Amino acid sequence: MITSKQKAVLPLILPVTALLVIWLMHPGNADAGGTNPEPMLPAVDDLTGSFTIAGDPLVSSLSRVWADEFMTLHPGITITVTDDDSGISVLGGGASIYQSMPRLGPSGIETAEGIESNQIRVASDALSIVRWPRNPVDLLTVAQASAIYSGKITNWEELGGNDASIHVYAMPSGSETYNFFKAKVLRMAGLPTEDNTIEFGNNVVFLSDAEEGKGIVAADRNAIFFCPVATVTEEVTPTWIIKAVGDEPTKACLETTSAGTFPFFRPVFYYTDGEPTGIVKAFIDFCLSEEEQNKVMKGGFLRLFYPDHTPVPNLTPFPAA
């Protein structure tokens, strides 16, 4: 039988007993048997320090995505990302990583006096020529794409499609995507047909951004538009492209841009002065990890790793100019 004194003590005993049970149930608090691990302690992150990434402003959006993620995981690290068009010499001016994207496609390693250039490819960039999803013209040569945008080809029938005028749309004049397209597609840089005198035709309508262009193409069965491949969505259809008749058709996607087989691509590089070490190496390894490559599109680019080769459909370009 519980006495009145025992009843008075019970409210004090029960909370203490509950706390003791909770403590014993914690995985880090073993009994005398020693079968459980040592008491759990907060993880200690020993990565500390700071460094700067500088260079091509076009790459800054991607670098900032990675830098923010890395600093969240490692609070002792500070990474500064700055736009700087002075080239690889930024490595001699205090930057630990130089970010670079060639304007016209793959290029040789950039060098500067006193710098041991170490080039690391971290992502890809590419252009895609998109059309209305059910447009039957699914393959173009670079020369045909150039002819569409210079105004030499104005009807889909000339390309084996319907008898309808081609409604030609482009990214904003003067934008980097515009400049890249003008060099690689309109003027066919690097091909035997390269012609630096070709200009955009009067039939081209320049839009404000990729979103506007995709909206138009999704609704207009006769429209065509070019945009960064990372902005392509399922509402529009990328066109298969070949450099010349007889080549294997390729479409702008993770596989073709990473492998370098798609005509309108360029790599994204990080450069260091010699082999990276310490926190800089840790950061670059982090950027190249499978998980972080999956986040490359947040910065507007394509990841490096790609799936197994996808069979190419049996496509033949219509023999137009």
pLDDT digits (tens, 9 = 90+) for 55-94: 998 889 889 999 999 999 999 999 999 999 889 999 999 9
Q: How many angstroms separate the CA atoms of 75 and 79, rounded?
A: 11
Tokens of 210: 């990729």
Q: What is the pLDDT of residues 94-130, one digit of tens each?
A: 999 999 987 655 667 889 899 999 999 998 887 889 9
For 25-34, 143-152, 270-279, which range has the lowest pLDDT when averaged over its residues? 25-34
Q: Do residues 288 and 231 both lie within one domain?
A: no
Q: Do residues 137 and 254 both lie within one domain?
A: yes
Exposed / middle / buried, residue 258 (Cβ in 10 Å: 0-12, 13-18, 19+): buried
Q: Do residues 195 and 143 both lie within one domain?
A: yes
Q: Do residues 166 and 91 both lie within one domain?
A: no
- Sequence-distant (≥ 6) Cβ neighbours of residue 315 within 8 angstroms: 138, 139, 240, 249
Q: Do residues 132 and 242 both lie within one domain?
A: yes
Predicted pLDDT of residue 2: 47
Does residue 6 have a pLDDT over 60? no
**19 is a domain residue:** no
**306 is a domain residue:** no
**37 is a domain residue:** no
Residue 182, domain extent: 126-259
| Among candidate residues 234, 259, 284, the one where a domain is terminated | 259
Percentage above 70 pLDDT, the chain: 75
pLDDT band at 23 (very low <50, low <70, confident <90, very high): very low
Q: Do residues 103 and 227 both lie within one domain?
A: no
Q: What is the pLDDT of residues 193-214, one digit of tens each?
A: 999 999 999 999 999 999 999 9
Predicted pLDDT of residue 33: 41
Q: Do residues 201 and 118 both lie within one domain?
A: no
| Among candidate residues 259, 285, 309, the one where a domain is terminated | 259
pLDDT band at 320 (very low <50, low <70, confident <90, very high): low
**103 is a domain residue:** yes
Greater model confidence, 272 or 17: 272
Q: Do residues 148 and 247 both lie within one domain?
A: yes
| Among candidate residues 259, 280, 310, the one where a domain is terminated | 259
Predicted pLDDT of residue 246: 79
Greater model confidence, 15 or 215: 215
Q: Do residues 58 and 169 both lie within one domain?
A: no
Q: Do residues 151 and 248 both lie within one domain?
A: yes
Number of domains present in the structure of the chain: 2
**251 is a domain residue:** yes
pLDDT band at 256 (very low <50, low <70, confident <90, very high): low
62 within 8 A of 301, measured Cβ to Cβ: yes
**180 is a domain residue:** yes
Average pLDDT, integer, range 261-271? 82
Q: Do residues 187 and 238 both lie within one domain?
A: yes
pLDDT band at 10 (very low <50, low <70, confident <90, very high): very low
Average pLDDT, integer, range 296-313? 60
CATH number for the domain harbouring residue 166:
3.40.190.10
**64 is a domain residue:** yes
